[in-house]
Chain A
Amino acid sequence: MLLLKQVEVKNVSKTKISVNKKSEMAAKINKILFDNMVTILFIVLCIIEIILSGQSAYFILNELVARIARNSFLVLSLIIPVIAGMGLNFGIVIGAMAAQAAIIAVAHWQIKGILGFLLCILLSTPLAILLGYITGKLLNKTKGQEMIASMIFGFFANGIYQLIFLLLIGTIIPMKDPVIVLSSGVGIKNTIDLSGSIKYSLDNLIKLPLSITLAIICFGFMVYYLWKYIKKREKKNLFVSLLFIIAGGCFAVIYNYEFMLNKINVPIATMLLILALCFFNNFICSTKLGQNFKAVGQNMHIAGVSGINVDKVRVNAIIISTVLAAWGQLIFLQNIGTLNTYGSHEQVGMFAIASLLIGGATVTNADNKQAIIGTILFHTMFIVSPMAGKNLFGNAQIGEYFRVFVVYGVIGVSLGLHAWKNQYEKNKLMKQ
């Protein structure tokens, strides 16, 4: 009798365990879905739009590669202020303006190629540091409203920028250059062609077909997961690394055939810079400076009481972000090839921020992965929206308006969710 009972008990507990495992799995999946709601929504949206637009994979991929190359750096530059608790830095516009000032100078001196590009970096960096310092000081005076303050400061700085380049050039700042300066002698022209200076200067350094690039990326991941396996001996890492070898092999093989993937060229130097920034972001986080950022980002009061100079840390975060934004804008413009003097920088902040948020970042949390994924998704949507709109509504305009709406909407919803969560947490604390 006893034996039977024992067996019964064992069976019951076994089913209990399997039921528990199932509900555990379900809970896990639920959590993943919830935490990454925005990103998943976007993936679905992009897939629908790609199908609707009917555009060829070649076209989309080609555009996408170019856009990822020229925009990722800017998006990555947003990460450090988020970690330091300053929210989304709408002030990267100011870094972009510093870059453009440098470009105007280099275009005027007609310095070509990578030399021109390096000179731009050399000129824009100290300017960006100064502007970042001013921005940081301003944001310290508007604690609690950093995002709107940086946004308005961006507009204000735009006014000063226009004042300088529309009115002071030719009058107080002497510049005789019929190519760049307006015919009246005062003010910079609306568009400046960069083919004489830095166009493609970075991109053309090294170019490889997409298939090879993907192969290299796969091998890179394979090495990474192999290394992880060696460190921790988890079977899954070995498995994933195997997957990457196979994928990489496939891509390498494709190279030998007439596949579209071979026709798309990837600017490797630019991609390497983007990779470098990812490493830089991680590196900073592992240093004392990064630890200060994280501490200040969590609680300014506690950080201050522990002796951290909160104001200085915040200013440093903004300076780094502004300098990176300047470099990012340089990368962007050398690919576009034309400087829209009074407009190139205007949308920079918004598009970069929307990209970051789409990747799953929030006002208080952002990392490299989210920046890259967000950039890919954002620009995919950007590419296919007009055609999708045309095919769905018969009007391409609708598609274009739709993508603008998505940009604003994503930012608005993110901000709203963040603020609502804050209020909810505050109320919860009160009740405790």
Chain B
Amino acid sequence: MSESILEMKDIEKEYFGNKVLKGININVKPGEIHAIVGENGAGKSTLMNILFGMPVIHSTGGFKGEIYFNGKKTEIKCPKDAMNLGIGMVHQEFMLLPSFTITENIKLNREKTKNNFLSKIMGEKVKTLDMKAMGADSRKSLDKVGMTIDEWAMVEGLPVGYMQFIEIAREIDKSNIKLLVFDEPTAVLTESEAEHLIDCMKKLAEEGIGIIFITHRLDEVMMAADSITVLRDGEMVANKKRGETNVVELAELMVGRKIERLVNKNESAENEEQKETIMEIKNLKVLMPGEEVKDVSLNIKRGEILGIGGLAGQGKIGIANGIMGLYESKGEVLFKGKAFKLNNTSEALKSGLAFVSEDRRGVGLLLDKSMELNIVISSMQIKNEYLKKIGFFTQMDSKNIRKHALKMINELDIRCRGPQQKVRQLSGGNQQKICIARALTLKPEILFVSEPTRGIDIGAKKLILDLLVKLNKEQGMTIVMTSSELSELRAISDRIVIISKGKIEGILKPDDSDADFGLMMAGHYHKIQKEEL
């Protein structure tokens, strides 16, 4: 019975009253490849942050539960503690310095040194770098991961796939490495590079290193993992050995939850077909870093609530951002039958679209300005409303601005001290309502909302969703809602489009099977369909 390298027992974590991890148990044995799968927000990153002693955990109240490393109870208070224990992490964003050679990157802050005439007087820091020894070590590590590249090559300009392997080489160069965490390692790799990576992982496991493999690519899980933990909404819903499960089951476990349907649309299928198309999107390409859209063709029907879902980084966020002209886009769009200009935010707003961005604080608000200014400013710019004309000049129409702001505060039930209050001081939910208020002030025909309930407490979440439903029912407003939370999409949408790898994986109805949703999110749907054929 081999002792576990890592045991995480009953891990709980709260962020400002929001329970993100509800009692997770993880057990990794030496030489075992343990996969952790789950949607975004399931708690995977939080769990890893705890394992690594990241400052964000400790500055928000720490966590409950115990961590045992090599059978001994340990406290990991900072990344250095984790490193000293022998835990290494291969990050998603590469931590490589481009103007350094591969060797210098592998040995960063762990350089080999030798004494010189000054170091005996002035101490450690002025020891000369022993380039030869560093190079030899790096060569060994690079060989271990199967890379033949010259260890003295500069990192700058290397293809992305290479960088991932250099990161791995750096971690295994650490002499005491016992547990290695891979966070979505294949996200940026080609298929052959991904296979190479999995081979590398298996080799490392054979040497006795325990591996945690975080991913949502279910086929890779089935290829590499020995055991699999499925996280969902901060809970551990399953822990299976590879032989006991399959891709479809995993997909179902990842996604399945009770759906509370907020809308009862008793319309029959024919009505669906008869609804006219308000916007036609053909072959949309959007260059949004991290959320690239490769080829999306979609018809938005007037008066519907269209949900766009998918995993993070797959491109769903890029669609609305591209149409609104915030990122460079290509393709053909028809709005109400007429050609629609892409790459032009002003035009988009003028023609009757409005957008509530997923980056509420970054793009969505003027935090240090008053609520009323935030609400009216887009209309002021685009439609010249809320202005008084005095000859040559324009002046803010304070009276009307105040009136409108009060109306919005009332209608949307925004909790505040008054329309002049600075937006920064409002709660997340109320800030989101301000964003929606601003979009509504434009009186749009289509409202694009991205991540409407991100970072908002549960009570406020429901309010926002109810609000969207109300707008749709009472005013017939077409709503396109992009969200990573499948549950809320299934709660209010008429149809849900799932985006994977920048393309549409499929369109589902809210009450379609969990397995279908899971497979589509994992980008597996078509593969399974092909296999079945």
Contacts and interface: CB of A to CB of B under 8 A. Distances in A.
B83 interface: yes
A174 interface: no
Interface centre among A291, A299, A430 (most CB of B within 10 A): A291
A305 B78 CA distance: 11
A287 B129 contact: yes
Interface in B36-92: 79-80, 83
Contacts of A283: 116, 118
B48 to A, nearest CB: 14
Interface in A268-294: 283-284, 286-292, 294
B136 interface: no
B337 interface: no
Given A307-B80, A307-B83, A298 B126 contact: no
Contact of A306 (B99, B109, B128, B129): B109
A298 B99 contact: yes
Contacts of B252: none
Contact of B109 (A286, A289, A290, A307): A307
A172 interface: no
A302 B96 contact: yes
B126 A431 contact: no
Contacts of B104: 291
Chain A contact residues (Cβ within 8 angstroms of B): what range?
A: 20 to 34
A298 B95 contact: no
A432 B289 contact: yes
Contacts of A288: 111, 113, 124-127, 129
B289 A308 contact: no
B80 A291 contact: no
A7 interface: no
B339 interface: no
A431 to B, nearest CB: 6
Contacts of B113: 287-288
A306 B98 CA distance: 15
A292 B104 CA distance: 11
A151 B187 CA distance: 45
A292 B124 CA distance: 13
B97 interface: yes
Interface residues of B, number: 26
A74 interface: no
B129 A286 contact: yes
Contacts of A291: 104, 111, 129
Given A295-B109, A307-B79, A431-B328, A289 B126 contact: yes
B340 interface: no
B215 to A, nearest CB: 22
A429 interface: yes
A308 B100 CA distance: 16
Contacts of A432: 289
Nearest to A308: B109
B133 interface: no
B287 interface: yes
Contacts of B259: none
A294 B289 contact: no
A368 B54 CA distance: 40
A286 B115 CA distance: 12
Contacts of B119: 287
B108 interface: yes
Nearest to A302: B95
B97 A287 contact: no
Interface string B320-338: 0000000010000000000
A365 to B, nearest CB: 9
Contacts of A429: 289
Contacts of B328: 431
A306 B289 contact: no
B211 to A, nearest CB: 21
Interface in B399-416: none
B109 A287 contact: no
Nearest to A313: B125
Most buried by B among A284, A294, A302, A303: A302
B53 to A, nearest CB: 12
A286 B97 CA distance: 17
Interface string A191-223: 000000000000000000000000000000000
B79 A295 contact: no
A397 to B, nearest CB: 45
Contact of B125 (A287, A298, A299, A431): A287
Given A287-B126, A306-B95, A298 B100 contact: yes
A306 B110 CA distance: 9
A292 B119 CA distance: 16
Nearest to B288: A430
A58 to B, nearest CB: 42
A281 B297 CA distance: 59
Contact of A286 (B83, B95, B128, B289): B128
Contacts of B83: 307
A284 B119 CA distance: 11
A327 to B, nearest CB: 17
B145 to A, nearest CB: 19
A303 B109 CA distance: 8
Contacts of B127: 287-288
A135 to B, nearest CB: 20
B285 to A, nearest CB: 13
B501 to A, nearest CB: 17
The listed residue with most B CB atoms (<10 A of its CB), out of A290, A292, A295, A432, is A295
Nearest to A284: B126
Given A302-B95, A432-B289, A294 B100 contact: yes
B125 A289 contact: yes
A152 to B, nearest CB: 25
The CB with the most chain B CB atoms within 10 A, among A288, A295, A431, is that of A288
A298 B156 CA distance: 12
A306 B79 CA distance: 9
A104 B516 CA distance: 84
B80 A287 contact: no
Contacts of A308: 108-109
B54 to A, nearest CB: 10
B430 to A, nearest CB: 31
A299 B96 CA distance: 9
A132 B371 CA distance: 46
A292 B107 CA distance: 12
Contacts of A289: 125-126
A291 B104 CA distance: 9
B387 to A, nearest CB: 33
Contacts of B287: 431
B100 A295 contact: yes
A303 B118 CA distance: 25
A295 B128 contact: no
Contacts of A284: 126
Contact of B98 (A290, A298, A303, A430): A298
A287 B95 contact: no
B305 to A, nearest CB: 31
A307 B78 CA distance: 10
A227 B79 CA distance: 46
A419 to B, nearest CB: 19
Contacts of B126: 284, 287-289
Contacts of A306: 95, 108-109
A430 B95 CA distance: 18
A247 to B, nearest CB: 33
A286 B100 CA distance: 13
Interface string A235-254: 00000000000000000000
22 contacts: A284-B126, A286-B129, A287-B113, A287-B129, A288-B111, A288-B129, A289-B125, A289-B126, A291-B129, A292-B109, A294-B100, A295-B97, A295-B108, A305-B79, A305-B95, A306-B95, A307-B79, A307-B83, A307-B109, A429-B289, A431-B289, A432-B289
Q: Can you list the 4 inter-chain pairs with the closest CB atoms, starting with the nearest? A: A289-B125, A306-B109, A298-B97, A306-B108
Given A290-B129, A307-B109, 12 more contacts: A284-B126, A286-B129, A287-B119, A288-B127, A289-B126, A298-B100, A303-B108, A305-B79, A306-B95, A307-B83, A431-B328, A432-B289
